[in-house]
Amino acid sequence: MRNLLIVDDEVYALQAMVEGVDWQAAGIDQIYSAGDAEEARKILRANAIDIMICDIEMPGETGLDLQSWVLKHDPGILTIFLTGHALFDYAQTAIKLSSFDYVLKPAPADQLIKVVTQAVEKIKDGEQRTRTNEVYETVYKRWQTHKPLLTERFWKDAISQRITLTEQRLQELAELYGAEIDPQARVLPIVISVEEWVRDFDLRDEEVLEYALRNAAKEMLLGDKPGEVFQDQSGLNIVLAYEQDGIIPSASEVAQRCQGYIQECGTYFYCRLSCYVGAPVAVTELQGMLNELMDMERRNIKELEEVFVYDERGRDQEDRFLPIPWFSELSILFETGKVGDLRERVDEIFELLAAQEGLSPEMLHLYYHAMLHVVYPLLHQKNVSIRSLYPGEREPEEGMVTRSLPQLKQWDVGSD
């Protein structure tokens, strides 16, 4: 529920704003009105007001005086000033007093609806950030106090490429970490790959959010079923769903849960990720299945924020390489400064790449290096440093640029 207070000493103007505007269209549920600052303070003390529309030029105490009082007693209120004079001094004072906006009188209804709608959206955004911060702080406290579990250490060693997971080796690891593992029990593995953080985070924040992702995976993908969630040495998050009483979740059931998990993580943890769901295998066969899923993850360069289910029938496809006779043409367009033609040709090339079913990661690396050979010589001729193309930022790393076709295109268009 959003409450609006309108303060104006002009009775007819006040009545027109209260009764002549469709405030529900702006997301307002309750309207309060006051003819002066004193009456407004009584309403503010007795009610939870979200937004205040206030006339600046009132006899006695002005709207600016009232706003000063509001900042001391309820600074969360968003104030929109009304003024009959387009004076910069008023706007400047309003800004200093942390108003949301100001509108010239007489204010048309559509303009009032527009600015109040913007204020409501700002309040919603603030509430969303508050909820996110609460989740973040809770997760961070749990992360600080979290102790690595022996079972998690067991699985990290078990899937490590340093050993072959025979039944004997599995038993030795189980004894070392005190884990109760049946070598013939089946597990269904899921690999979670973070493709992109949609906001800039430092290393500490990323570690906290990675922990949050694993915690959410345990709740959403495993629920009350037995299993384990951990991060392997390469940074991929791995979920293992255990067999229980001869029953193990089906790949289709897990894939459906993964869809919801991807959406929630995008909303609350500011990342884009994909899930790769394997087939149930015995613990001794887990390494091989995880290798298949990780290979699927490495080769996925076109489809982001998706769920991919392992299918043995489609695993024997060989990489396909496309001829790339375009770069001499791109070099000429680049050197002659025909930016429009260059962008058009690049768009055509990426449309061709996107249409290829067998497009491989190697192809993206080849395109990346070929474009560098187009750009670097001309920059050298003009005595321009590559770093000057990224003022205040680090030059993008090859691994990030070639992670997917959309990211490669973003880098290419940005470089143009």
Please report whether residue 142 resides in a domain.
no
Token pair 């307002």 is found at 28
The C-alpha atoms of residue 262 and residue 274 are separated, in whole angstroms, by: 7
Q: Over 80: is that where the pLDDT of 32 sits?
A: yes
Residues 352-371 have a mean pLDDT of: 68
Amino acid, res. 323: P
Percent of the chain at pLDDT exceeding 90: 18
Residue 112 lies in a domain: yes
Where among 282, 314, 346 does a domain terminate?
314
Domain termination site, one of 314, 348, 367: 314
Do 221 and 349 lie in a common domain? Answer: no
Q: Report yes or no on 15 lying in a domain.
A: yes
291 and 170 in one domain? Answer: yes
Kindly state whether residue 130 falls inside one of the protein's structural domains.
Answer: no
Predicted pLDDT at 208: 85
* Banded pLDDT at 263 (limits 50, 70, 90): very high
Is residue 241 scored above 70 in pLDDT? Answer: yes
- Average of per-residue pLDDT across 41-65: 90
Q: Are 58 and 36 in contact (CB under 8 A)?
A: yes
- Least trusted range by pLDDT, from 77-86, 115-124, 175-184, 191-200: 175-184
Q: What is the pLDDT of residue 144?
A: 47
Same-domain check for residues 188 and 229:
yes
Using pLDDT thresholds of 50, 70 and 90, give the confidence band for residue 355: low
Helices and strands (DSSP H and E) totals, the chain: 15, 11
Same-domain check for residues 161 and 305: yes
Question: What does the mean pLDDT of the chain come to?
Answer: 79
Supply 87's token pair. Answer: 């004076």
Answer whether 0.75 is exceeded by the pTM.
Answer: no
Decide if 133 is inside a domain: no
Ranges 236-245, 294-303, 386-395: which has the least confidence = 386-395
Decide which of 405 and 195 is more confident. 195
**Single residue among 62, 93, 124 that ends a domain in this structure:** 124
pLDDT at residue 259 is higher than 60: yes
- Rounded CA-CA distance 407/416 in Å is 14
Residues 158 and 289 in one domain: yes
pLDDT digits (tens, 9 = 90+) for 146-200: 434 567 777 877 887 566 677 888 888 877 776 777 777 889 999 999 888 888 7
Same domain for 243 and 165: yes
pLDDT tier for residue 91 given thresholds of 50, 70 and 90:
low
Same domain, 119 and 154: no
pLDDT at 143: 45
> How many CB atoms lie under 10 A from the CB of residue 414?
11
Residue 322 lies in a domain: no
The pLDDT value recorded for residue 403 is 63
* pLDDT for residue 196: 84
Q: How many domains does the chain have?
A: 3
Q: In what order do the strands lie in the sheet with 30-34?
A: 30-34, 3-7, 51-55, 78-83, 101-104
298 versus 110: the higher-pLDDT residue is 110
Distance CA 171, CA 174 (A): 5
In a domain, 135, yes or no: no
Asked if the model's pLDDT at residue 269 lies above 60, the reply is yes
Task: Note whether 155 and 235 are same-domain residues.
Answer: yes
The answer on 109 and 188 residing in a single domain is no
Q: Mean pLDDT lowest for which of 15-19, 39-43, 171-175, 306-310?
A: 171-175
pLDDT digits (tens, 9 = 90+) for 294-326: 888 877 766 788 999 988 655 545 445 455 555
CATH no. for residue 114? 3.40.50.2300
Instruction: List the CATH number of the domain containing 253.
Output: 3.30.70.270
Same domain, 214 and 240: yes
Show Cβ contacts of residue 124 under 8 Å, excluding neighbours closer than 6 positions: none
Which pLDDT belongs to residue 148?
Answer: 44
pLDDT of residue 396: 65
User: Which of the two residues, 139 and 10, has the higher pLDDT score?
Assistant: 10
The amino acid present at 1, given as its one-letter code, is M
Burial (0-12, 13-18, 19+ Cβ within 10 Å), 368 = middle
Q: Give the confidence band of 133 by pLDDT, cuts at 50, 70, 90.
A: confident
Q: Please check whether residues 347 and 309 belong to one and the same domain.
A: no
Q: Which domain holds residue 52?
A: 3-124
**Highest mean pLDDT, choosing among 37-51, 60-74, 105-119, 345-359:** 37-51
Is 48 in the same domain as 184?
no
Q: What is the pLDDT of residue 201?
A: 78
Averaged over 126-155, what is the pLDDT?
A: 65
140, part of any domain? no
pLDDT band at 251 (very low <50, low <70, confident <90, very high): confident
